[in-house]
Chains A and B, each alone.
Chain A
Amino acid sequence: MGFCKRVICFIFTAMSVKITDLGFTYQDGEAFRFPNVEVEKGQSLLITGPSGSGKSTLLHIMAGFLTPKEGDVRIDSQSIYQLSESARDAFRGEQIGMIFQQHHFVRALSALDNVLLAWIATGRKPDEKMAKEILSDLGLSSKFHEKPQNMSQGEQQRLSIARAMVKKPAVVLADEPTSSLDDANAESVGKLLIDLTQNHNVALVVVTHDQRLKDIFPRSVSLANAKMNSL
């Protein structure tokens, strides 16, 4: 897509994530058909469903990890499955931030270096100042040089959020971000995500079975009927 087209598209829609007619089938025949979804910049969407309903599958398709059988995923107007694998990797590095259920970090690196990885992974020059700012905003100013595994669950979650947000991507995808937290922390993290979404003007998609977040997120979609017998 040409640059002008992209700019026009951005101005009129400001649509960051758009899922259309998405279907996916695993090799063992397990099949899903996902509802169409659109999320604009600065907005958030909660995708809920019971275990096995295809939440993680949908998230991984949106991130470009899994190739759908049919349908389209557009991030910032770019159909990600039209990109080659390497271009998709680079695009993901630029435009998608990810928060995982289990807080995966590079254990050998400090908290600050883990955040800097957001740039390094795609070969860009890291912005240490920005990394420190977001860590400080999330109350981790004293943890710059701490190893992630030495931090508490709540701190690890905030570190994970900082890493996803720091490069100001088009969309942040979060997989069960609160499932391992207590009620207070779950609410706190939920609100933090929504605030950051608005402040950083990114689109946020959270997939979870954590019903506690339903009251915090203004908009949600259920995947209760996404799973099909076969496609």
Chain B
Amino acid sequence: MSWLKMSWANLLSRPLGSLLAILLMAFGVGIVSLLVQLNAQLEKQFTTNIRSVDMVVGAKGSPLQLILSGIYHIDAPTGNISLNELNDLKKNPLVKSVIPLSLGDNFQGYRIVGTTPEYVEHYNAELHEGKVFENVLEATLGANAARQTGLKIGDHFVGTHGLQANDGHVHDDQEYVVVGILKPSGSVLDQLILTPLESVWAVHDHHHHDHGHSHDHTEKHEHDHSDGHHHEDDHVHGPDCNHDHEDGHHGHDHAEGHKEHSHGAHDHHAHDDDHVHGPDCNHGHAEEREVTVGLVKFTGPMARLQLPRHINTNTNMQAALPAIEINRLLGLLGIGINTLRWLAIVIMLLSAISVFVSLYNSLRERRYEMALLRSMGASRSKLFQLICTEGVILAFIGFVFGWVFSRLAMFLISGYARESYRYALEVWNWNKEDFLLAGVSLLIGLIAAVIPAVRAYSTRIHEVLGGKTE
């Protein structure tokens, strides 16, 4: 037996009043904690993934959509842009670097992103095992994508057209091979399957070749190869246009040969070899290539003022500044979050009133107990402590329940986010704001208990235990 046990026993002896106070406190704490957690996670995701991307260029449309699809991979892209235009942008002295991304397919809902190894370096991602993709149809998986899909090094898989799981054509004629898995980086890379740009082109060239045309392709070389070049080798161009031939030489005039290709962009790969060019191969047919977005870094602050307007006015591309768009988005979200936050504060105030009413009412019933304790030698300050302890216990239990509620809600939201956007949110982590919330909750319990405690403190034993007023 102790004073703490007595406080606890007193609370248990009036379960309904205590439960109401606890539930109200839990509800308030739960909402606040959930909002804090969501806010922190959203901000973390937004800031981590912007990671010094100064500008995103893509097809014209909604700038926010461009940012969401290009950086966070949670929305559909606005369309495609010409690789040529992107390469022209790269030559602009105000541009430090451009990372092209090509979207269009997914594997079990995880987006397959055609890009260059600079994308991995940009996020400082480290390899958990294997290597970063180098050749066409090699894939390096983000940590979460690997864990959720169960793919391992050496596994083969095929992409599905579209950005949602199971809603498109399966490219079963083009198999990717997993060559690397990244360590968790806390960035968007965790949710992505990365592959060279050429893979995306290759897969879609085949796709269009097989499905996008009515003409018969049972024969593979219908297009004109009158120039006589023939791709029997694995003819792959890297992003820097270095020819990569297994046999170490190339037996034809490449530039000329490609100029004479008369087929469209999607027919180009209707060879029985893998003749693929890197994104910088601006020799003839690169103009036919498309990518989805380009992530741009500026050389200096002047670029921010000049480039977006220049691009939006003079090119077929759209430029969007992530910082501005995300601030706009957070501003919009903020209205809702602020409303909920105020609601939670009101609920917490109600819980304080509930704790107060619960203790105050119980004290009316317990005035004899208070007098009895005084008669047994308990000091006034002991009674004050007893009532305050009860208030703090109610608040503490309310906080614990509220915190658990918030994390259960977070668990559900995380499941939804994973299902819908392949984003994994942290659920059970303890933020520094939770310390603050715990402190505020206990303080509320204490403040709510002060008036009843003062009443207990000023118990006049003689009057309560049957005497008349002194």
Which A residues are within 8 Å of any B CB, using their own CB?
Answer: 26-28, 30, 56-57, 60, 63, 65-66, 85-86, 89-94, 98, 100-102, 104-109, 113, 116-118, 120-123, 126, 163, 175
Asked if residues A27 and B469 are in contact (CB atoms below 8 Å), the reply is yes
Query: In this assembly, does B42 line the interface, its C-beta being within 8 Å of a C-beta of chain A?
Result: no
Q: Which of B54-62, B176-184, B187-195, B370-378 contacts A (4 or more CB under 8 A)?
A: B370-378
CB-defined A-B contacts under 8 Å, sample of 5 = A26-B468, A89-B374, A102-B368, A117-B6, A120-B1
Question: Which residues of B lie under 8 Å from residue A104 when comparing CB positions?
Answer: 368-369, 371-372, 465
User: Which residues on B sit within 8 Å (CB–CB) of A57?
Assistant: 467
Complex interface: chain B residues within 8 A of A107 (CB): 13, 366, 369
A138 to chain B, nearest CB (A): 18
Q: Give the distance to chain A from B336, nearest Cβ to Cβ, in Å.
A: 44
B379 touches A86 (CB 8 A): yes
Enumerate chain B residues within 8 angstroms of A105, measured Cβ to Cβ.
Answer: 369, 372
Among B369, B469, B470, the residue within 8 A (CB) of A106 is: B369
Contact of A90 among B373, B377, B469 (CB under 8 A): B377
Question: Which chain A residues border B366 with CB–CB below 8 Å?
Answer: 107
Fill in one digit per residue for B427-470: 1 if any A CB lies within 8 Å of its CB, else 0.
00000000000000000000000000000000001100111111
A94 to chain B, nearest CB (A): 7
Contact status of A175 and B1, CB under 8 A, knowing A93-B378, A117-B376: no
Number of interchain pairs (Cβ within 8 Å): 101
Q: Find chain A residues with CB under 8 A from B6 CB.
A: 106, 108-109, 113, 117, 120
Q: Which B residue sits closest to A94, measured CB to CB?
A: B377
* B contact residues vs A (CB 8 Å cutoff): 1-3, 5-6, 9-10, 12-13, 366, 368-369, 371-380, 382, 461-462, 465-470
Beyond the given pairs A107-B366, A108-B9, 14 more chain A to chain B contacts, judged by CB atoms under 8 angstroms and listed by A's residue number, are A26-B470, A57-B467, A60-B465, A66-B462, A85-B380, A86-B379, A90-B379, A106-B10, A106-B372, A113-B5, A117-B1, A121-B377, A123-B382, A175-B466
* Residue among A26, A90, A92, A121 with the highest chain B CB neighbour number at 10 A: A121
Inside 8 A of B467's CB, which chain A residues have their CB? 56-57, 60, 65-66
Which residues of chain A are near B369, meaning CB under 8 Å? 104-107
Please give, as numbers and ranges, the residues of chain A lying within 8 Å of B368 by CB-CB distance.
102, 104
In the complex with contacts A89-B374, A109-B9, A116-B1, A26-B462 CB distance below 8 A: no
Q: Which of B1, B5, B13, B469 has the most CB of A within 10 A?
A: B1
Q: Which residues of chain B are within 8 angstroms of A116 by Cβ–Cβ distance? A: 1
- With A107-B369, A108-B6 known as contacts, the answer to whether A89 contacts B378 (CB < 8 A) is yes
Contacts A100-B465, A120-B1; is A63 near B375 (CB within 8 Å)?
yes
Cα(A94)–Cα(B160), bound, Å: 83
Alpha-carbon gap, A55 to B378, bound state (A): 24
Whether the Cβ atoms of B375 and A65 lie closer than 8 Å is yes
Chain B residues positioned under 8 Å from A93 (CB to CB): 376-378
Q: Which residues of B contact A120 (CB under 8 A)?
A: 1-3, 6
Does B2 lie within 8 Å of A102, measured CB to CB? Answer: no
**Who on chain A is nearest to B376 by CB?**
A121
- Quick one: closest A residue to B462, CB to CB? A65
Q: Is the CB of A89 within 8 A of B377?
A: yes
Residues in chain A near residue B12, CB distance under 8 A = 108
B470, A66: Cβ atoms closer than 8 Å? yes
A26/B372 in contact, CB under 8 A = no
Q: Which residues of A contact B375 (CB under 8 A)?
A: 63, 65, 92, 98
Enumerate chain A residues within 8 angstroms of B5, measured Cβ to Cβ: 113
B330 vs chain A, min Cβ distance (A):
50
B377-A92 in contact (CB<8A): yes
Q: Which residues of A contact B13 (CB under 8 A)?
A: 107-108
Q: In whole angstroms, how far apart are the Cα atoms of A27 and B377 in the complex?
A: 26
Nearest-neighbour CB distance to chain A for B372, whole angstroms, equals 4
Q: Output the least CB separation between B403 and chain A (Å).
A: 27
**In the bound complex, what is the Cα–Cα distance between A65 and B372 (angstroms)?**
12
Report which residue of A101, A102, A117, A122 has the largest number of chain B beta carbons within 10 angstroms of its beta carbon. Answer: A117
One of A65, A98, A113, A122 near B378 (C-beta < 8 A): A122
Contact B374 A113 (CB under 8 A): no
Question: Nearest residue in A to B372 (C-beta to C-beta)?
Answer: A104
Cβ of B308 to closest chain A Cβ, rounded Å: 69
- A residues near B374, Cβ cutoff 8 Å: 89
B465 near A121 with CB under 8 A, answer no
Interface centre among A28, A89, A90, A123 (most CB of B within 10 A): A89
Q: Closest Cβ of chain B: how far from A148's Cβ, in Å? A: 11
Cβ-defined partner of B376 (8 Å) among A26, A56, A60, A122: A122
Closest Cβ neighbor of A106 among chain B residues: B369
Q: Compute how far the CA of A95 lies from the CA of B380 in the bound complex, rounded to whole angstroms.
A: 18
Question: Contacting B470 at CB < 8 Å: which of A27, A90, A92, A123?
Answer: A27
